[in-house]
Amino acid sequence: MHELSIAQSLIDAVLDKTAGRAVMGVNLRIGPLSGVLPDALRFCFDVASAGTTLAGARLLIDEPQARGHCRECGTDFAMTDMFLLCPCGSADVAVVSGRELNLVSVEVA
Amino acid sequence: MCATCGCGDEAAPRVYSLEVPGLDVPGQEVPGPQAHEHSHEPGHSHTHDGHTHSHPHDHAHPHADGHSHTQANTPELIPLEQNLLAKNDLLAERNRGWLAGRKVRALNMMSSPGSGKTTLLVRTLTELGDRLQAGVIEGDQETSLDAERIRKAGRPVVQINTGAGCHLDADMLRRGLDALDPAMGSTVFIENVGNLVCPALFDLGEAAKVVVVSVTEGDDKPQKYPHMFMAADLVIINKSDLLPYVEFDVDECVRRIRRLNAHAQFLVLSATTGDGVTAWYDWLDGHPSRTETRAGSLAGPLEESLTDAH
């Protein structure tokens, strides 16, 4: 359950930037290829934020679509899993997006 | 800004008001700008397309012309735009610099529990003897059983027990390195917690990631745990002595890893019988480190370290 470590990193990063102010909301961007499951992170966030200024804060997670670029046929396509395979059959694929694991912003009172 | 009471984006930036690239994914909730209803009792609440919030502040309302408010708590949106693993990655870079400064090569050994990492390390340390100056950092949730096995091979070893943790992180490695205090030009084997999922996400500052998969686990492991195999620099297929007894297609396993990872190298060996381990020793002798490809300026010292180590 690496989401617990990630939730702890998230809380530490927010505490660093908010100087004790009550945190109302946290905005994240988590791509489907990042290796982090948004639902698991939500669960861990609720547990790990208890007793901090983040307790009860809304966790808004933007989940962008994963996209790949085929170096062979030049098309951009939606990736449904981590396998580097273009619909044209080529495996020479660059991951364009989907690996995001970002803390975008926080809303403080 | 709301024409009725002055609340809105400028006065009270909200979570949903942030322009996030990609937020317009179908199914994602994207409330329109300020399409909301008001009720104006003191401590009034608003409804903004689907969610509600209340304002605990008192309003002073001279409602004649362009009413003014006294707001005690104005929510504020602080943009951060940082990677969630930024702290770990920073610590990993520090480890990388520390290791480069001492010309020490660190190899992150990862696998599921029971794939044979410790057996491989014990054989390696025993057979290479003084050819390879090396120490080991052992990561396990509990016990020092593996560390004891390494100690019997006569090498310096540090145990890190992660407790509930399922992986080593860069800070743990830093503490492990402090305790191990590896000699200039030596090699440090980091035996990560047995787990094919979590360790893949955490950069430790290592020169290379070595993933061990054993033939008893099934050749579909790469498909099931893609992150781990995507991260690998070298994949060792272990327990090759058991190939006659299990359904494991080496070529198929390699093909599956290739579809995830274009640069990984492969070795097939048995840490128990010693079959194929020479290729692993050759890899240890001649391996160009990942640090070298990431930061060309570090190539010199690390190449020297390989020479110094043998």
Q: What is the ipTM of this complex?
A: 0.86
Q: What are phi and psi of B198, to 5 degrees?
A: -65, -40
Give how far the C-alpha of residue B144 lies from the chain's centroid of Cα atoms, to the nearest Å: 23
Task: Give chain A's length.
Answer: 109
Residue B230: what pLDDT? 92
Neighbours of B116 (CB within 10 A): 20
CA distance B28 to chain A (A): 8
Q: Cβ of B259 under 8 Å from any chain A Cβ?
A: yes
Give how far the C-alpha of residue B45 lies from the chain's centroid of Cα atoms, to the nearest Å: 43
Angle between helices B86-101 and A2-18 (to 10 degrees): 100
Task: Give chain B's length.
Answer: 310
Residue B73: what pLDDT? 62
Least confident of B15-19, B102-106, B166-170, B222-226: B15-19
Whether the per-residue pLDDT at B107 is higher than 50: the answer is yes
Q: Cβ of B22 under 8 Å from any chain A Cβ?
A: yes
- Give CA–CA dist A39/B257, Å, rounded: 28
Whether the per-residue pLDDT at A83 is higher than 90: the answer is no
Neighbours of B273 (CB within 10 A): 13
Residue A80: what pLDDT? 84
Contact B81 A63 (CB under 8 A): no
- Give CA–CA dist B228/A101, Å, rounded: 17
Residue A82: what pLDDT? 84
Name the CA dihedral angle for B220, A82, A3, A101, rounded to a multiple of 10 degrees.
Answer: 160
As to burial, measured by CB atoms within 10 angstroms (0-12 exposed, 13-18 middle, 19+ buried), residue B15 is buried
Residue A85: what pLDDT? 86
Please report, as a single letter, which amino acid is at residue B249: D
As to burial, measured by CB atoms within 10 angstroms (0-12 exposed, 13-18 middle, 19+ buried), residue B97 is middle
- Give CA–CA dist B297/B206, Å, rounded: 16
Q: How confident is the model at residue B39 (pLDDT cuts 50, 70, 90)?
A: very low
Structure token pair of residue B131: 């050819």
Least confident of B18-22, B188-192, B242-246: B18-22
Contact A27 B20 (CB under 8 A): yes
**SS3 of A100, please?**
coil
**SS3 of B37, please?**
strand
Q: Which residues of B75-96 are buried (b: 16+ CB within 10 A; e: fewer)?
A: bebeebeebbbebbeebbeebb
Helices then strands, counting H and E runs in chain B, come out as 10, 11
Distances (CA, A) of B57 to A56, A103, A108, B44: 20, 29, 15, 9
Whether the per-residue pLDDT at B42 is higher than 60: the answer is no
8 A C-beta contact, residue A60 and residue A27: yes
Least confident of A21-25, A96-100, B46-50, B215-219: B46-50
Tell me the DSSP string of B7-25. Answer: -STTTS--GGGS--TTTT-
Dihedral over Cα of A84, A85, A91, A94: its sign: negative
Contact B18 A104 (CB under 8 A): yes
Residue B72: what pLDDT? 56
Residue B1: what pLDDT? 33
If you average pLDDT over every residue of chain B, what do you get?
Answer: 77
Of the residues A82, A90, A99, A108, the best mutation for testing chain B's interface (the one with the most B CB atoms within 10 Å of its CB) is A82
Neighbours of A73 (CB within 10 A): 13
Strand spans (E) along B127-264:
134-140, 157-161, 187-191, 208-214, 234-238
CA distance B99 to chain A (A): 24
Contacts of B28 in chain A (CB under 8 A): 62-63
Find the mean pLDDT for residues B243-264.
94
Q: Among partner residues A2, A14, A60, which is closest to B198 by beta-carbon distance? A: A2
Residue B305: what pLDDT? 37
Structure token pair of residue B269: 């060996």
As to burial, measured by CB atoms within 10 angstroms (0-12 exposed, 13-18 middle, 19+ buried), residue B177 is buried
